[in-house]
Structure 1
Amino acid sequence: MTLVVHGELAGNVKDADRGLSQKLLAVMESRRQGRHIHVVDAAGYSDLLFGAPAVCRSLKMQGAGVTVVAEVGDGVFGGPFDRIGLRNRGVGLADGRLLGRGTPGHEKLLARLVERVLGHRLIEARAPARRGPQFDIGWVGGRTAYGAWAVSPAQLRGDGASPIVDAILHIGTSLRGFYRPGTFQPVVVVDDGVQMPSAPLDRAASSAGILLSRTSDLSGGVAR
């Protein structure tokens, strides 16, 4: 046995005395003996069916049952960060026009962002969940999950505020239902040459709960 899907169980799949899943009991015993068995939840199983990576879940005894251990980033993180997957992702018209995805300028900024995050040895870079906000790279800092978007619109006017405001509003729309203060922090990373903060940028970022940053501002796994 190498994979178990954790879900609702009934009937004779349960241990008669303890009321627990026989398979999950076997998983916990196998893990204690050093033989790892992957466990995915219903969302992870759906990801596997779509060819996406699934998070392997930790288990714990809780009362008379076995539960999945809640982890920072649940609902927004998918599998490990994958450079090839990031490079080969599809780019929608809105992402290309508002975020600059697919342009040379965006690719350069994205490369700096990725190297800055991966440069911290204690950070495990994560990819977005298949059905979550499609940031470029994610990581955990303390008890907060960060998801960072590199934003480099093709045409910047003046101080560059207006196109980036549009990008922030676009990202904010994708965050509906996912932004939870203190648990998930979206970050917009812009080029060093962009003048910030400015009133329009501040208002747009504040309304969407987004943190504005440059790659040089990312330190120790916490954007500031």
Structure 2
Amino acid sequence: MSDDRRAYSSTLVAAEAERGRGRHVCVVDAAGFSALLRGRPAPCLELRRARTGRVRPVAATTTEARVLGGPLRLRRTGRRAPGDLTLDLSRLDAATVAHEATVGALIEHLSRRGIEACTNAAGAPEFDAGWSQGEDIFVAEVKSLTGAREDQQIRLGIGQILDYAHQLRSAHPSTVIHPVLVLEKRPSADRWAGLADGVGLRLIWAPDFTGI
């Protein structure tokens, strides 16, 4: 943000001056702009003067917001026109609709318990949903079982959410992180519950989401 040719520094100085006049000017970096394009929230950065006199943006100091972002919203899903890959694309669309339906049901379930479902914060792994209970934070990966092999979807979900939890625990060692795998429906094989217990993972499914 200090490229003289692009006048980034002067732009930030102007933003700082406007803030000093009591006007709120939101400053986002490239990562934040990318998040906005994907429909996700972006943090408004603070402005600080470096020793060189330049003004540079820095992330505001937060606690929970370092993991959880803004309220979770459903994404729009659509149907593709028929074509040569009608079968595969139809399955993909069905899985996408089922995924968002499960996300929506989870949001409603948490809301009924007075819990707000959140997105990931900027810079945090892109889990599907997150929420807090007391000082503990829960991060969830949602997997549909429509139009795909059940075992592959569950294995993929387990790997993803355990990876996200490991990254978050490394970045925030003082925060208790609970990984959760949320399925569209009860899996046909009972063995997944035992596997989840063995690796410290909560396994839940719609429509009851028993366990949260």
Same structural fold, with TM-score higher than 0.5 when normalized by the shorter chain: yes
Q: Higher helix proportion, which one?
A: 2
In structure 2, the partner of 1:200 is 195
1:101 aligns to 2:66 (yes or no): no
**Correspondence list, 1:30-109, <5 A:** 30=21, 33=22, 35-48=23-36, 50=37, 52-57=39-44, 59=46, 67-71=58-62, 72-74=64-66, 80-83=71-74, 85=75, 87=77, 101-102=95-96, 104=98, 109=102
Q: Which amino acid aligns with 1:171?
A: Q
Unpaired stretches in structure 1, ≥5 consecutive residues? 1-6, 16-20, 219-224
Task: List per-residue Cα deviations over 1:137-175 (Å, max 9, x = no partner).
Answer: 3334455554322335349xxxx9x66752443424763
The TM-score with structure 1 as length reference comes to: 0.53
Unpaired stretches in structure 2, ≥5 consecutive residues? 81-87
Q: State how far apart, in whole Å, the 2-side matches of 1:199 and 1:25 are.
A: 55
In structure 2, the partner of 1:114 is 107
In structure 2, the partner of 1:222 is none
**Correspondence list, 1:126-205, <5 A:** 126-128=118-120, 133-142=125-134, 145-154=137-146, 165-172=154-161, 175=164, 178-180=167-169, 182=175, 185-190=178-183, 198-203=193-198, 205=199
Q: RMSD between aligned alpha carbons? A: 4.9
Change in CA separation of 1:81 and 1:38 when aligned onto 2, cut-off 3 Å: same
Q: Which amino acid aligns with 2:13?
A: Q
Q: State how far apart, in whole Å, the 1-side matches of 2:14 and 2:202 are.
A: 43
Instruction: Give percent identity, aligned residues only.
Output: 20
Q: Structure 1 residue 115: deviation in Å? A: 0.6
1:29 aligns to 2:20 (yes or no): yes
Change in CA separation of 1:37 and 1:113 when aligned onto 2, cut-off 3 Å: same
Q: Which amino acid aligns with 1:178?
A: Q
Preserved CA contact (<8 Å) 1:140 1:146: yes
Q: Which amino acid aligns with 2:160?
A: I
Preserved CA contact (<8 Å) 2:68 2:120: yes
Preserved CA contact (<8 Å) 1:73 1:183: no
Preserved CA contact (<8 Å) 1:60 1:69: no
Question: Which secondary structure does the structure 2 equivalent of 1:180 belong to?
Answer: helix
Q: State how far apart, in whole Å, the 1-side matches of 2:115 and 2:146 are.
A: 34
Q: State how far apart, in whole Å, the 2-side matches of 1:111 and 1:173 are.
A: 23
Q: Structure 1 residue 28: deviation in Å? A: 3.5
| Residues matched between the structures, number | 186
